[in-house]
Amino acid sequence: MSSKSYISLVPKYTFSSTIEKQERELANNPLTMRMAESRKALSSDPFRPIYHYVNPESTLNDPNGLCFWQGRWHLFYQGYPPEDPRQHWGHAVSDDLIHWRDLPYAIYPDPEEKCFSGATLVETERVIAMYHGTEAGNMIAISKDPLLLNWDKLTRQPVIKLHPEDAPPELRVFDPCIWKKGDHYYSLSGGTLPHKPSGRRTRANFLFKSQDLVEWEYLHPFIEEDHFTLVGDDGACPYFWPIGDRHILLFFSHMSGGQALVGDYDKERDKFVVTSHHEFNFGPYGPSGVHAPSSTPDGSGGIIAIFNMNPGMETRGWNQIMSLPRKLSIIDDDPIGKDMLKVVPAGDIESLRREHRQQKDLTLPANKELVLHGIEGNALELSVEIDTNDAPMIELNVFRSPGKEEFTRISFFRNRGYRNWERYDGWEPGKRLDASDSLISIDSSYSSELPDALSRAPETAPVFLRPDEHLNLRIFLDKSILEVFVNGKQCLAMRVYPSRQDSRGISIRSQGINARLVTLDAWQMENIYST
């Protein structure tokens, strides 16, 4: 560990221990007032979202330590303060996972150089944050106050050094997560293992055990039966939680992006036996793709997850944003797809809706694009149900200019994905098709006329729909982000940068065969920030 001093240049304040006093202190806190002014100054940027969380000043990176404490949701993230642009843990709080309030920076560097990613563990009397401190190792900080404003580091040294003495030589600790089983704490460190004979490395997460949070014993690589991740993946930003009667490990690969493994936690051997795999981006994570996760149990058997989204263009004074929170749960009504994840938006999104518009029972004539007059905007929620009638493709265009100089295409291809052999039954053509995944795609090739806005290769994800199941989409547009939830079974997200003020239209098209728009509801969305 370096002997260099890394004391932060960012002002740091100590707050009282009651919620009433904390609120009074925050009202006049110079740092939160500075953040409010910065947020106001940046609000005129046409690409800055109004209902997705984006930090108030400078830039952000990985979300960290999402948790629920004393009736409130807390989001932490790698923040880069303007006077000391090294990673600190930024902090925001919410009552509903949608309306976020900026709080002062939570965890400051020193003795570590920078405060990288980590997770939190909520106990009855305290919240434990375990994170990676660069040039040091994995650190622990603890907070007990109502708004988690005051954090004390457990020791002035890393609790797990960069290269633990009892660990294999290839282990270099990185982003940790933490949980408790019985009287012991457990932690995973993100990492890789050598892959033979290719020489490339594979995803690994190394398990440590402690009784007091100070002394940690290295145990072993945690995961078995991972036949899913790619050679070259790593296991950064891990989050390990129960989900239904299974367990889930969310992580980030610096090669291929956000992912999750689902399986069974063998508590006797302290091993995680993997049975399925899920992706959160379906191509490289940059440009404009999903980055790293942060997650926490929702209290009812599911997981709340949030991701940061990479930029596809430089924006002055800020860059990345957070996705909407997602609730992940196990689909338990499908005996074949029992390991499949259900994914839906989380939080009180409905409170943001205004100016409702609706289209119902509309025939979509084959090969004709219909512009939905009266439904337009760049901060919208769309709820769409379509009877596809086996049309080869259903297409929705959003952020569409009147002359179609700019548009972002959402395409659905029924039964055009890989065949699911567990669902396959017989050789009749209909049965073969019914056993295949469908595909949902976002194409940003024509999203922007700006020369420095990077188009992302079409993002295409599988989703299985039953033969009689209509296509149901929840689509969220927010200035420079598009999120598409599909039948509660899949989600795609992408950053886009429409440059024209008139790129606000919506159109729909059925290719080859008539389809039917059962219903389309549209709402303008309110700004969650008071500017």
Residue 172: band (very low, low, confident or very high) from pLDDT cuts 50, 70, 90: confident
Q: Which residues contact 63 (CB under 8 A, 6 or more apart)?
A: 75, 76, 77, 292, 293, 294, 306, 307, 308, 322
Q: So what's the pLDDT on residue 340?
A: 87
More confident residue, 507 or 169: 507
Whether the per-residue pLDDT at 110 is higher than 70: the answer is yes
Q: What are the φ and ψ backbone dihedral angles of 20, each rounded to 5 degrees?
A: -65, -45
Q: Which residues contact 428 (CB under 8 A, 6 or more apart)?
A: none
- pLDDT above 70 (res 90): yes
Q: How many CB atoms lie within 10 A of CB 161?
A: 16
Given a cut of 70, is residue 197 above it in pLDDT?
no
Instruction: Give residue-wise pLDDT tens across range 312-338.
Output: 999 999 999 999 999 999 987 776 666
Whose tokens are 């972002």? That residue is: 408
Give the pLDDT confidence score for residue 185 in this predicted structure.
Answer: 98
Give the pLDDT confidence score for residue 494 in this predicted structure: 97
* Interval 367-377: pLDDT, tens: 999 999 999 99
Comparing 142-151, 435-444, 479-488, the range with the smallest average pLDDT is 435-444
Summarised one tens digit per residue, pLDDT across range 93-104 is 999 999 999 999
Q: Is the pLDDT of residue 1 over 60?
A: no
pLDDT-derived band at 422, boundaries 50, 70, 90:
confident
> Which pLDDT tens digit goes with each residue over 32-86?
999 999 999 999 999 999 999 999 999 999 999 999 999 999 999 999 999 999 9
Task: For residue range 373-400, list pLDDT tens digits in order.
Answer: 999 999 999 999 999 999 999 999 999 9
Q: What pLDDT sits at residue 467? A: 86
| Euclidean distance between CA atoms 491 and 441, whole angstroms | 10
345-364 residues labelled b (16+ CB within 10 A) or e (exposed): bbbebeebeeeebebeebeb
Contact call for residues 138 and 115 (beta carbons, < 8 A): no
Burial of 450 (C-beta count, 10 Å sphere; 0-12/13-18/19+): middle
Output the pLDDT for position 137: 95
Query: Is pLDDT of 344 > 90?
Result: yes
Tokens of 221: 């690589």
Query: Over pLDDT 90: what percentage of the chain?
Result: 86
Torsions phi, psi of 212, nearest 5? -130, 5
131-160 as b/e, with b when 16 or more CB fall inside 10 Å? Answer: bbbbebbbbbbbbebbbbbbbebbeeebbb
pLDDT reported for residue 181: 97
Percentage of the chain with pLDDT > 70? 96
pLDDT band at 431 (very low <50, low <70, confident <90, very high): low
> How far does the chain reach from its first CA to its final CA, in angstroms?
43
Amino acid 218: pLDDT: 96
Full set of structural domains in the chain with CATH:
19-345 (2.115.10.20), 350-525 (2.60.120.560)
* Whole-number average pLDDT of the chain: 94
222-245: b (≥16 Cβ within 10 Å) or e: bbeebebbeebbbbbbbbbbebbe
| pLDDT number for residue 427 | 63
Token pair 């990185």: residue: 174
- How many Å apart are CA 447 and CA 482, to the nearest integer? 11
Q: What is the pLDDT of residues 183-192, one digit of tens each?
A: 999 999 998 8
